[in-house]
């Protein structure tokens, strides 16, 4: 005669089950609390941002019809039936897009140079004086936090309308963001080569150049390329405040309801941004490959 | 006995023979450096070309820098000038935060399913996956400010258009990041769920989601931080928040008010950053 024996018995199991239920309940409570907090924040911000779901619902037709209008020429025909008419400003817009890319390029390289110079005195292992670190870090933080468009607004007042204000604004912002990343990279390096150079009597500059630089170069390059991609996007809108590039033409077209122009310019922006993204992604992957080979 | 002095003497005796013997280590030769040098030369040439095309000259920079210095002097000290103005600015700041929060939340709600759709290991259909990814890329390559301009045409001027703009441009970026996180997820839990007879949906829910969720949560927090920054500028085109006040005050050259507004933004961003840093370590720490 066999008898089913449950191991562990119910009495042994009881505290475990109890603990399990307790843990599950605690997790559920946490989830409810978090959900409640998010809900309250949602309600508050919905009031703050004047959200009108009804307006959105009523006017969502505007959104689709807006794209419909974007794809219609003045004559009423669809845009793709007459590409020549659609892209009537191709030469001008191409030039402006080239200018936009140049703004991004000049700003990224200058900003990166500033960031490299600033990263060494901002990192804990390469700069021993705490007050220098503090000053450099706070200034980088300032450049990073103020959006480039705000810098551009102020610089337009100082330097006049044109690309110079845009380049300077983006340079400052880029220096701030890249400076932080470079500082983190510099703080994670292997200190032994640096110490080796220090032990043979190398100067601080030689330590940075021959001890730290070779370790971080590919990392820096890929961060710079990433920033370049972001800056190309940023440069397309910096013209909205009058700081050069294609943004000025775009905002004029949007404000004056030149629908087919808007779609043509947007398409060209998207194509340029995607092309640059693709190229830079390819270079970045190759950089990563050389990094793993080492 | 060959001490330090011995080695030194040997090396000195070798003289020019030593560099010649280790040529491949000491001089890498022009031939091998040529591509890198050409690249640097091209980059410098493009830079110079850019300076010429964009009409950037030391004289213009120097002249503007003088004016910038004057402006900076006029900015000090930051001063809203009246309590009523300060209250107005505080309200605008609250609106900015609301825009950022709503935009991020909407982007997260929309971006999560799109991320799954664009991930190669969830959607086996190549065409669908490619389509999802390309459309995300297209939406992403249009800046938030341009989306704001478009949404203003739909729902009218105001913060609601700003929230929608942030939502639109960020859901694409979040979707892309999520899809990358999903593709990087460990496939073993999925195999495990499938091997005990779970459906594909189960595999996604119990095999992938627990791995992706912490990454997703910390990404959302990052986006909230960066969106508070974007939300401060979105008012420049009329989509609500503190940017409206900022561009207005710059236009009328009230520099003390401008610096007060910038100071407010700096403080807010710093507070949000430190809060979200804490939240992020809490989330990752709990899971890890």
What pLDDT is attached to residue B27?
60
**DSSP bridge partners of B106:** none
Instruction: Choose among B146, B136, B184, B165: nearest CA to A274.
Output: B136
ipTM of the complex as predicted: 0.77
Count up the domains in chain A and report the number: 3
Question: What are the distances in angstroms from CA B55 to CA A157, A206, B75, B283?
Answer: 17, 36, 28, 50
For B102, the closest of A51, A241, A250 (CB atoms) is: A51
Pair A42, A170 in one domain:
no
Domain housing B228: 81-287
Residue at B9 is within a domain: no
Pair A212, A142 in one domain:
yes
Pair A72, A172 in one domain:
no
Pair B156, B30 in one domain:
no
Domain housing A22: 10-51
The dihedral formed by the CA atoms of A283, A284, A289 and A290, expressed in degrees to the nearest 10: 80
Are the C-beta atoms of B221 and B280 separated by less than 8 Å? yes
E strands present in chain A: none
Distance from the A221 Cα atom to the nearest Cα atom in chain B, whole angstroms: 13
What pLDDT is attached to residue B59?
83
Angle CA(A52)–CA(A55)–CA(A59) in degrees, nearest 5?
145
Residue at A5 is within a domain: no
Q: B11 Cβ partners below 8 Å, 6+ apart?
A: B18
What pLDDT is attached to residue A178?
92
Instruction: Choose among B226, B126, B135: nearest CA to B176.
Output: B135
**Of the ranges A8-12, A161-165, B88-92, B156-160, which one carries the lowest mean pLDDT score?**
A8-12
Residue at A243 is within a domain: yes
What pLDDT is attached to residue A110?
94
Are the C-beta atoms of B181 and B216 separated by less than 8 Å? yes
Show which of B28, B59, B74 is a domain's final residue.
Answer: B74
Pair A142, A175 in one domain:
yes
Pair B53, B88 in one domain:
no
Render pLDDT for B169-216 as a digit per residue (tens, 0 to 9): 888 888 888 888 888 888 888 888 888 888 888 888 888 888 888 878
Residue at B6 is within a domain: no
What pLDDT is attached to residue A171?
94
Instruction: Choose among B270, B288, B156: nearest CA to B211.
Output: B288
Distance from the B213 Cα atom to the nearest Cα atom in chain A, whole angstroms: 14
Question: Does the beta carbon of B240 lie under 8 angstroms from any beta carbon of chain A?
Answer: yes
Count up the domains in chain B and report the number: 2
How far is Cα A146 from Cα B259, in angstroms, rounded to an integer? 11
Question: Does the beta carbon of B88 lie under 8 angstroms from any beta carbon of chain A?
Answer: no
Categorize the per-residue pLDDT at B288 as very low, low, confident or very high, splitting at 50, 70 and 90: very low
How is residue B78 annotated by DSSP? P
The tokens for B288 are 């890890």
Question: Does the beta carbon of B263 lie under 8 angstroms from any beta carbon of chain A?
Answer: no
Question: Does the beta carbon of B4 lie under 8 angstroms from any beta carbon of chain A?
Answer: no
Instruction: Choose among B169, B181, B182: nearest CA to B226.
Output: B169
Question: Does the beta carbon of B194 lie under 8 angstroms from any beta carbon of chain A?
Answer: no
Position B2 pLDDT exceeds 50 = no
Question: Does the beta carbon of B159 lie under 8 angstroms from any beta carbon of chain A?
Answer: yes
How far is Cα A133 from Cα A118, in angstroms, rounded to an integer? 10
How far is Cα B69 from Cα B119, in angstroms, rounded to an integer? 51
Test B229 with A234 for CB contact under 8 angstroms: no
What pLDDT is attached to residue A170?
93
How far is Cα A237 from Cα A266, in angstroms, rounded to an integer? 11
B interface mutation test: which of A40, A49, A252 has the most B CBs within 10 A?
A49
Query: Which residues 90-149 in chain B show a CB within 8 A of chain A?
Result: 94-95, 97-99, 101-102, 105, 137-138, 141-143, 145-146, 149
Query: Which residues 39-58 in chain B show a CB within 8 A of chain A?
Result: 43, 46-47, 49-51, 53-56
Residues of B with Cβ-Cβ distance to A59 under 8 angstroms:
154-155
Categorize the per-residue pLDDT at B287 as very low, low, confident or very high, splitting at 50, 70 and 90: very low
How far is Cα A82 from Cα A102, in angstroms, rounded to an integer? 31
Q: B44 Cβ partners below 8 Å, 6+ apart?
A: none
What pLDDT is attached to residue A159?
87
Q: Please report, rounded to a whole number, the percentage of residues in chain B having pLDDT higher than 70.
A: 88
Pair B61, B171 in one domain:
no
The tokens for B238 are 């009329």
Residues of A with Cβ-Cβ distance to B138 under 8 angstroms:
270, 274
What pLDDT is attached to residue B1?
45
3-state class (DSSP) for residue A72: strand
Pair A106, A242 in one domain:
yes
- What sign results for the dihedral spanned by CA atoms B63, B65, B67, B70? negative
Q: Pick out chain A residues at pLDDT < 50.
A: none
Residue at A215 is within a domain: yes
What pLDDT is attached to residue B31?
67
**DSSP bridge partners of A78:** A72
Residues of A with Cβ-Cβ distance to B63 under 8 angstroms:
159
Residue at B55 is within a domain: yes
Burial annotation B94-124 (CB, 10 A radius, 16+ → b, else e): bbbbbbbbbbbbbbbebbbebbbbbbebbbe
Pair A111, A165 in one domain:
yes
Pair A78, A120 in one domain:
no
Pair B100, B232 in one domain:
yes
Pair A35, A104 in one domain:
no
3-state class (DSSP) for residue A78: strand
Pair B150, B172 in one domain:
yes
Taking residues B116-134, report their average pLDDT. Answer: 77
For A241, the closest of B236, B258, B262 (CB atoms) is: B236
* DSSP assignment of A117-153: HHHHHHSTTT---HHHHHHHHHHHHHHHHS-HHHHHH
Are the C-beta atoms of A104 and A235 separated by less than 8 Å? yes
The tokens for B142 are 């249009």
How is residue B158 annotated by DSSP? S
**Of the ranges A100-109, B128-137, B257-266, which one carries the lowest mean pLDDT score?**
B128-137
CATH of the domain at A146: 1.10.3720.10
**Of the ranges A93-107, B108-122, B265-279, which one carries the lowest mean pLDDT score?**
B108-122
């Amino acid at each position: 005669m066999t008898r089913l024996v449950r191991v562990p018995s119910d009495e042994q199991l009881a505290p475990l089950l109890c603990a399990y239920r307790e843990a599950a309940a605690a997790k559920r409570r946490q989830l409810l609390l978090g959900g409640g907090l998010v809900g309250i924040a949602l309600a508050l911000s919905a009031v703050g941002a004047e959200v009108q779901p009804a307006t959105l619902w009523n006017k969502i037709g505007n959104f689709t019809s807006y794209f419909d209008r974007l794809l219609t020429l003045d004559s009423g025909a669809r845009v793709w039936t007459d590409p020549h008419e659609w892209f009537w400003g191709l030469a001008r817009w191409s030039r402006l897009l080239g200018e936009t890319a140049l703004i991004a390029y000049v700003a990224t390289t200058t900003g990166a140079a500033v960031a490299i110079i600033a990263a060494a005195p901002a990192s804990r292992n390469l700069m021993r004086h705490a007050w220098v670190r503090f000053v450099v870090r706070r200034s980088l933080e300032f450049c990073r936090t103020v959006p480039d468009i705000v810098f551009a607004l102020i610089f337009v007042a100082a330097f006049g309308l044109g690309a110079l204000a845009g380049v300077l604004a983006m340079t400052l912002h880029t220096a701030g963001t890249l400076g932080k990343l470079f500082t983190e990279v510099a703080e994670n390096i292997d200190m032994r080569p640096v110490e080796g150079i220090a032990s043979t009597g190398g100067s601080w500059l030689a330590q940075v150049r021959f001890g730290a630089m070779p370790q971080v170069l590919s990392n820096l390059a890929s961060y710079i390329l990433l920033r370049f991609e972001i800056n190309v996007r940023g440069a397309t809108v910096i013209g909205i405040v009058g700081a050069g590039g294609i943004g000025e033409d775009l905002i004029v077209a949007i404000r004056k309801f030149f629908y087919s122009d808007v779609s043509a310019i947007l398409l060209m922006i998207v194509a340029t941004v995607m092309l640059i993204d693709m190229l830079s992604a390819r270079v970045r992957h190759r950089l990563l490959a050389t990094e793993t080979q080492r | 006995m060959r001490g330090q002095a011995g080695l030194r003497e040997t090396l000195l005796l070798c003289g020019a023979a030593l560099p010649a013997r280790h040529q491949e280590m000491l001089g890498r030769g022009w031939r091998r450096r040529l591509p890198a040098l050409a690249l640097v030369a091209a980059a410098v040439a493009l830079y110079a070309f850019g300076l010429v095309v964009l009409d950037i000259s030391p004289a213009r920079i120097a002249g503007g820098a003088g004016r910038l210095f004057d402006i900076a002097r006029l900015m000090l000290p930051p001063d809203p000038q009246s309590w009523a103005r300060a209250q107005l600015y505080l309200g605008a700041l609250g609106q900015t935060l609301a825009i950022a929060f709503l935009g991020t939340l909407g982007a997260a709600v929309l971006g999560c399913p799109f991320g799954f759709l664009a991930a190669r290991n969830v959607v086996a259909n190549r065409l669908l996956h490619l389509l999802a990814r390309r459309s995300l890329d297209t939406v992403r390559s249009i800046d938030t400010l341009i989306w704001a301009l478009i949404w203003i045409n739909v729902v009218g001027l105001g913060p609601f258009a700003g929230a929608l703009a942030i939502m639109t441009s960020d859901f694409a970026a979040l979707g892309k990041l999520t899809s990358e996180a999903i593709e990087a997820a460990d496939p073993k839990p999925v195999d495990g769920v499938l091997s005990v007879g779970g459906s594909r949906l189960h595999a996604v829910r119990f095999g992938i989601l627990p791995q992706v969720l912490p990454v997703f949560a910390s990404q959302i927090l990052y986006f909230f931080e960066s969106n508070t920054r974007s939300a401060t500028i979105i008012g420049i085109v009329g989509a609500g928040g503190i940017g409206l006040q900022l561009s207005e005050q710059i236009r009328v050259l009230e520099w003390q008010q401008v610096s007060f507004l910038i100071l407010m933004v700096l403080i807010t961003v710093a507070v949000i950053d430190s809060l979200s840093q804490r939240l992020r370590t809490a989330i990752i720490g709990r899971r890890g």
